Amino acid sequence: GQSLEQPSEVTAVEGAIVQINCTYQTSGFYGLSWYQQHDGGAPTFLSYNGLDGLEETGRFSSFLSRSDSYGYLLLQELQMKDSASYFCAVSLNTNAGKSTFGDGTTLTVKP
């Protein structure tokens, strides 16, 4: 089976840095993606790691260690609008692009 573990809730203050971890146990691995979902909205793509290391996209960075089956999303200079749910997703190594999603982490940013 496939399983992804991420914290259910994280709270931080504006301007701070927060890290959301994701550990996975899957049969087959192609890459790790992160999605953001605001309340009532659809998930939107944030970041992807296919290789070990850090990927930076503006205030957001994502890290992957395949040997540890672990990744994280780092959000810097937090803003109120960053309050949302964040999902990690493992792309399985099939040509159908199937992914397995974690249960999501609800981030609350306080003033």
Partner 1 sequence: DVKVTQSSRYLVKRTGEKVFLECVQDMDHENMFWYRQDPGLGLRLIYFSYDVKMKEKGDIPEGYSVSREKKERFSLILESASTNQTSMYLCASLGGPLAGAKSTDTQYFGPGTRLTVL
Question: How many angstroms from the chain centroid is the CA of residue 31?
Answer: 12
First CA to last CA distance, the chain: 41
Count each helix (H run) and each strand (E run) in the chain, helices first: 0, 11
Q: How far is the CB of 16 from partner 1 (least distance, A)?
A: 25
Question: How many angstroms from the chain centroid is the CA of residue 98?
Answer: 17
* Residues 38-77, interacting with partner 1 (CB under 8 A): 41-45, 48, 50, 55
Does residue 33 touch partner 1 according to CB under 8 A? yes
Q: How far is the CB of 32 from partner 1 (least distance, A)?
A: 10
Nearer to partner 1, 67 or 95 (CB): 95
Separation CA 7–CA 9 (nearest Å): 6
Does residue 87 touch partner 1 according to CB under 8 A? yes
Residues in the chain: 111
Q: How far is the CB of 67 from partner 1 (least distance, A)?
A: 21
Note the residues at the interface with partner 1 (CB under 8 A).
8, 30-31, 33, 35, 41-45, 48, 50, 55, 87, 89, 91, 95-104
